[in-house]
Copies of this chain bind each other. A is one copy, B any other.
Amino acid sequence: MPVKNVNEVPTEAVQAGSGTARQVLIGPEQAPNFAMRRFIMQPGGGIPAHTNTVEHEQYVLRGRARIGIGDEVYEVKKGDAVFIPAGTPHWYQVEGNEPFEFLCVVPNAPDEIKLVEDSG
């Protein structure tokens, strides 16, 4: 189907995160080069620092969060576009009382997720 609504797409928990779920809106079985996913993080949720072998192109649909990218921290909100280069450590922490929702587009390439150990 070329058109589907987010409410029709199954949701799966993201094990590396807390209060975090993911939907694959357009996957590799449909599209040749990249995949579109939606992430939903509940208030208080997030994903700790990690790296991926693929880059992320993201768009915030709802809510607010702090996102760490490399050594910088950004306050992001609805309407923000976010680029996270391949291999760059990054993390998410939801702010406020509303779910934080964003699209995340990645290339159809093998991805390895590695948690970054706390050096503190």
Which has the most chain B C-beta neighbours within 10 Å: A76, A77, A81? A81
Given known contacts A59-B25, A103-B59, A103-B103, A36 and B81 CB-to-CB distance under 8 angstroms: yes
Given known contacts A25-B59, A59-B36, A103-B59, A30 and B79 CB-to-CB distance under 8 angstroms: no
Residue-wise, chain A 1-44 has the 8 Å CB interface mask toward B (1 for contact) of: 01111110100000000000000011000111110100000000
Find chain B residues with CB under 8 A from A61 CB.
61
- What are 12 A-B pairs at a CB distance below 8 A? A2-B74, A2-B82, A4-B80, A5-B80, A6-B79, A26-B81, A31-B55, A31-B83, A32-B55, A34-B105, A34-B107, A36-B81
